[in-house]
C-alpha cells in the first residue's frame, strides 16, 4: 500500500494573505498564489509513488467571507497544476464544533476510509498547530514548515521549507 502525504493548503501550497498583521487564507481567486517553490517537490513526492491529498480549513465560508464558487476556482487551479488525488475542505468555523476542522482528525479519517489509506504511515505537512494537532490525533507523522507565526507550535519535525519537508518524507518512506 502506497503511503499518503496530507498537505495543508494555505501557507504550504499557496501563499498566505496578510490581514491586520495575521496570516490568512485567500478569499478571492486573485489572491490565490501557488508558491512556485512547491511545484517540483510535489511532483517528486508523486514520482516516488506517494499518494497526495490536500486538507484545508476554510472557515471564511462559514463566515460569509469566501464564496463556494471562488473556493472551487482556487481548487481547480490547484488540481490543474499538482498531482493530488483529492482536496478535502472543512467549511466550518470553530463554533460549529465539527469533527472535520483541524486540529480534529475528521478530514484525515474520511480520506483514509474512502481511499484505503493507512494513517499510521502517513505524513501531514502543515504550517500551524492545527495541522500538527490533526496529524497527532490521526496517528500520522507531523512536519511543520518554520514560519514567523508558528515558532511555538510543536510537531514531530520542524523544517525550514517545503523542499526540506519533501526530502525528509522521501528519506523516511524508504526505511
Reduced to 3 states, what is the DSSP secondary structure of residue 89? strand
- In degrees rounded to 5, what are phi and psi of residue 154? -100, 150
- In degrees rounded to 5, what are phi and psi of residue 132? -70, -30
Q: How many CB atoms lie within 10 A of CB 46?
A: 16
**Which of 8, 60, 127, 153 is flagged as catalytic?**
8
- Cβ proximity of 54 and 34 under 8 Å: no
93 is catalytic: no
10 is catalytic: yes
**Which of 10, 60, 127, 131 is flagged as catalytic?**
10
Strand partners, 6: 53, 124
- Residues noted as catalytic: 8, 10
Amino acid at each position: 500500500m502506497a503511503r499518503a502525504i496530507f498537505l495543508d493548503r494555505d501557507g504550504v501550497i499557496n501563499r498566505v494573505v496578510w490581514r491586520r498583521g495575521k496570516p490568512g487564507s485567500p478569499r478571492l481567486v486573485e489572491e490565490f498564489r501557488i508558491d512556485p517553490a512547491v511545484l517540483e517537490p510535489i511532483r517528486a513526492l508523486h514520482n516516488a509513488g506517494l499518494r497526495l491529498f490536500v486538507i484545508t480549513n476554510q472557515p471564511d465560508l462559514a463566515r460569509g467571507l469566501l464564496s463556494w464558487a471562488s473556493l472551487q476556482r482556487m481548487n481547480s487551479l490547484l488540481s490543474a497544476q499538482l498531482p493530488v488525488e483529492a482536496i478535502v475542505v472543512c467549511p466550518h468555523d470553530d463554533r460549529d464544533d465539527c469533527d472535520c476542522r483541524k486540529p480534529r482528525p475528521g478530514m484525515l479519517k474520511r480520506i483514509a476510509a474512502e481511499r484505503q489509506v493507512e494513517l499510521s504511515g502517513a505524513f501531514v505537512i502543515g504550517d500551524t498547530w492545527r495541522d500538527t494537532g490533526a496529524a497527532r490525533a490521526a496517528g500520522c507523522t507531523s512536519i511543520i514548515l518554520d514560519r514567523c507565526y508558528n515558532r511555538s507550535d510543536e510537531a514531530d519535525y520542524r523544517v525550514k521549507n517545503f523542499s526540506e519537508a519533501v526530502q525528509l518524507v522521501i528519506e523516511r518512506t524508504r526505511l
